[in-house]
Chain A
Amino acid sequence: MNERGQYKNRIELLQGTLDMLILQTLQWGPQHGYGIVQALRLRSGDVLQVETGSLYPALHRLERQSWVQSEWKQSESKQKARYYRITAKGKKQLASDLGRWERIVEAIGSVVYVKPEESES
């Protein structure tokens, strides 16, 4: 299995959640790729480490689906960078992604935290 394949698998694995996390990050304002990586790492307490090989394909995919828009701007440190901004369509998508996520968490939770005395053995 080559390196390219690994990335692809990771993307597929994370696809739903990565899109949701990116859109959620952009809720707080337009951000560039590097900024998104930093924000996710900080907010997750260094747990979530997003690979660039997953991030950029995801951003470009989101843009193709018109969930985000991009434009070139100067950053605070005078660095020219591509800023992504969430669109109305993206917000709707985020809402539905979050809803789905909550249902999954709830469902998994109710499976995982079954009280032991309720089972036979």
Chain B
Amino acid sequence: MKWFPSFGFQRRKRELQEEIDAHLQMAIADRVARGETAETARQEAAREFGNIPLVQDVTRDMWGQAWLEQLGRDVRYALRQLRKSPGFSITATAMLAVAICANSTVFSWIDGTMLRPIPGARDTGDLVSLQRGEWNFSPTPPFSYLDYRDLREQNHTFAGILAYHHDWITLTGGAQPERAYISNVSANYFDVLGIKPVLGRFFLPEEESRPVPNVVLSYSLWKTRYAEDPAIVGKSIEIARHPVTVIGVAPEGVVGAMPGIREDLWVTLDPLGTDVWRMTHRSGGAVWLNVIGRLRPGVSRGQAAQDLDTVMHNIVAAFPDDHLGDNRITLDPMWRSPFGANGYMAATLPILLAFAAVVLLLTCANVATLTLVRFVSRRRELAIRQSLGANRIQLVRQMVLEGVVLSIVAGAVALVLTSWTSKTFAWFFPANSNPLILNGSMDHKVVIGIAVSSLLVGMLCGALPAWRSSHAPAVEVLKAESASISGGSRNRKLLSGLVVAQIALSLPLLLCSGLFLRTLRNLAGANPGFEQDHILTATVGLNIAGYSHNEEQVIRHKILDRVSALPGVKVASLTDWIPMALSHKGEDAYPEGYVPHPHESLKVAHAEVSPRYFESLHIPVLEGREFTPDDDEKAPRVLIVDQTAARRYWPGQDPLGKELRVWGRLFTVVGVVRNSTHTFVNESPEPMVYMSFFQAGYETMVQVETEGNPVDLAPAVQNAIHEIDTRLPVFDVRSMRESTQMASSFAVIQSTLAGMFALIGLVLAITGIYGVVAYRTQLRTHEIGIRMALGASRVDVLRLVLLQGFWLTGIGLALGLVFALGLTRIIVRLLYGIGANDPVTVVSVVMLLGAMSLLACYLPAHRAMRRNPVTAIREL
């Protein structure tokens, strides 16, 4: 077997041989010339020269290539040894592969989301996302265009600041309107991201706020809808029935600046000139932009935040009425930007990676146990080789190499597995209205990660046992072969230590997964405060299809009438928000006459709902009334508050008839409804105000309470809407149950992975303790035989074996408990309805692990007990 192609090496070896031959020939010739016989001359010359292979060997050391040859030899030796015990090799490789794969899978998810927040952008590490006011987990866009422009122009710390507003729209002009995700962007959007067009150009500074109907297409849209038309630039396409001109195409893979969310096309901030109001105001509906900045080189996030705070302070001083509430600016790196998906990722994935690392450690301990046992059983061979002149470093090197060979193979297997598992991340997200593009990625970072971890693992699994085994004094081993039980007390201690470590490491995994599973159950069983069954929702793309406002209102009424009349429909209503689907609308609201403190944030969530909305969701109206069809644009503005809002604004008073100022307009409270969940079951209560759909509704979603399975009614609802106008785009027709699954998808990810990791941990710990106790009992067969012959009962033998397992388990559990209670602190935030040290979970997990490991000890104990003492004594 030839491992390393080294032509130069072979040639030099040959030359050295020739050189030595020449030396000998000349020596012989000299001796013959002095009168010796040819035979004596040859013998004497050879004697004088010395050990030829040794001279070659030492000389070759000088070439600096010897290590390569040596490595090849050692690798061959390691492979031979591993082939000799296929059981061990396969088990160890499989375990390591699974453990490495657990890590690389989670890492590939982190890599695909947090580490690649904006695909295609240059140096995303320099990008920060800006937030104004209280730090929020699912914030609404924080800036108005004018505020954004002032920040952009007056700061001293940014190379550029971009703004965008994410929305969706319909592509018309085809047979059926098609939904597309669009961003209104500042002109410098692509510049700040560092992206160049593949076709045409991007936006010019002078186009930013002027009504120029230009559009940039994403690569995938250009490919799928326009068949990669090379002459697309300059052509006119139709968006929401308005003609716009294509000016450029973005490169492949570019999906926009909101992490995890796809954008298909980009237009400037006011491409049709219809948003003049939004472009010229600083509050209310004009606060609509998400903002991302690129730091100047050498500027820290803290310095930049201070700089922006100063600018913002001046803006607030100049326009105080537009900036009530908290105006402090916080900056987040893109990997945990709260806009888009990364906020959620950053809260979940690093913890899962930590779990995976524990699994890897646990596996190392397990494989190290197996390796140590193997080396102990090979101690005779090692001793013989040592006494034949192998030095300790060489022995250790070879043994470590066996571990490294195993882990390299395991790494290769893990690489293949990960290329598949990295793509499973998307499975965790149910169908929803957000254009999520979350998935793992398998790039060089993951490959390097696998390589590094497998090498480290190999060292860890091989080095510790190897070092220990090489310690054994050769003479002692060879002399006292039979007497040394389990390879000396040092090895016994190491074995015990490894078993204790495995139990101690698996306990926290089990505890965390137990807590996550119970959290999941609590989430599923929690009452969100509204009905989830028998509800169907459908989104009608009305505002994006290009109708006039009056047409829209007429169509909305028609939809409500038609859908209500459908058989099987109990109640139909309209809304522009679906709870627990990761969408959130927030606004500042102030009671009439209330003067907010500086930096006081009075944010409320809001939704616009039609009559009978609360009835269909079974949300009780506690005081006052629901909306009626009379609450339309001609009537006085009204709103309904939930209990939290009522308590916040009018504690101890009757909220009915009170007034609240939102978007600068006064609304009168006409009702109070019970609290219900907005985004997550475990959210902290946030005040909510409902406004009348026909006074303030923006998007149109039909919400139907059905008699039977809501999904069965989907086609009928769609048909009813299309009967009004066949071109009406209808999207996201699904049951409320399905929509609200989105809210628990992260809990599902956590509990699924933690559960899998815990199961691996349990299996490893149990097999680990079983293996060690069984092995040790086997070595003590002789001793047990003598004990029994001397009168020990079977129960004594059982106790003898069980006791050592008991001690190992006990110490492992005690250490593990300390470790686990420390670890659960970092997952507190992810739990719901259960404490981090929940006694029931702790006790049951400890019992489970303890019982399982005692069972694992019982099997070998039982076997030892039933041995015939006579055969046991004979066995050595």
Contact = CB atoms under 8 A, between A and B. Distances in A.
B393 interface: no
A10 to B, nearest CB: 10
Interface string A65-109: 000000000010101111000000000000000000000000000
Contacts of A75: 26
Nearest to B48: A52
Interface stretch (A19-27, A56-64, A110-118): A56-64
Nearest to B63: A60
A120 interface: no
A4 interface: yes
Interface residues of A, number: 25
B27 interface: yes
A32 B23 contact: yes
B394 to A, nearest CB: 12
Given A64-B62, A81-B26, A82-B15, A56 B54 contact: no
Interface residues of B, number: 25
A11 B59 CA distance: 11
B167 interface: no
Contacts of A53: 50-51, 54-55, 58
B58 A2 contact: no
B389 interface: yes
Contact of A7 (B18, B22, B54): B54
Interface string B1-26: 00000000000000110111011011
Contacts of B652: none
A33 interface: yes
A3 interface: yes
B61 A57 contact: yes
Nearest to A58: B62
Interface string B40-55: 0000000001110011
B838 interface: no
Interface in B49-79: 49-51, 54-55, 57-59, 61-64
A52 B61 CA distance: 15
B29 interface: yes
B22 A60 contact: no
Contacts of B23: 32-34, 52, 81
A32 B22 CA distance: 9
B22 A57 contact: no
Contacts of A79: 22, 25-26, 29
Q: Is the interface of B mostly helix, strand, loop or mixed?
A: helix
Contact of A64 (B26, B49, B63, B389): B63
B750 to A, nearest CB: 59
Contact of B57 (A4, A61, A81): A4
Contacts of B58: 4, 7-8, 11, 53, 56-57
Contact of B51 (A3, A11, A32, A82): A3
A38 B336 CA distance: 77
Contacts of A7: 54, 58
A64 B50 CA distance: 24
A77 B54 contact: no
A3 B388 CA distance: 12
Contacts of A33: 19, 22-23
Residue in B20, B30, B58 whose Cβ sees the most chain A Cβ within 10 Å: B58
B551 to A, nearest CB: 89
Given A4-B57, A82-B15, A52 B50 contact: yes
Given A53-B50, A82-B19, A60 B26 contact: no
Given A2-B389, A60-B59, A82 B22 contact: yes
Contacts of B25: 79
Contacts of A52: 20, 23, 49-50, 55
B75 to A, nearest CB: 22
A80 B62 CA distance: 23
Given A32-B22, A33-B19, A81-B22, A57 B59 contact: yes
16 contacts: A2-B389, A3-B51, A4-B54, A32-B23, A33-B23, A34-B23, A34-B26, A38-B30, A52-B50, A56-B20, A57-B58, A64-B64, A77-B26, A79-B25, A81-B22, A82-B18
Interface of B: 15-16, 18-20, 22-23, 25-27, 29-30, 49-51, 54-55, 57-59, 61-64, 389
Given A4-B58, A8-B58, A60-B62, 13 more contacts: A7-B54, A32-B22, A32-B26, A34-B22, A35-B26, A53-B54, A56-B20, A57-B61, A60-B63, A61-B62, A64-B62, A80-B18, A80-B22
**Which 9 residue pairs are nearest across A and B when measured between Cβ atoms?**
A81-B22, A60-B62, A34-B26, A56-B59, A34-B23, A61-B62, A2-B389, A82-B19, A57-B59
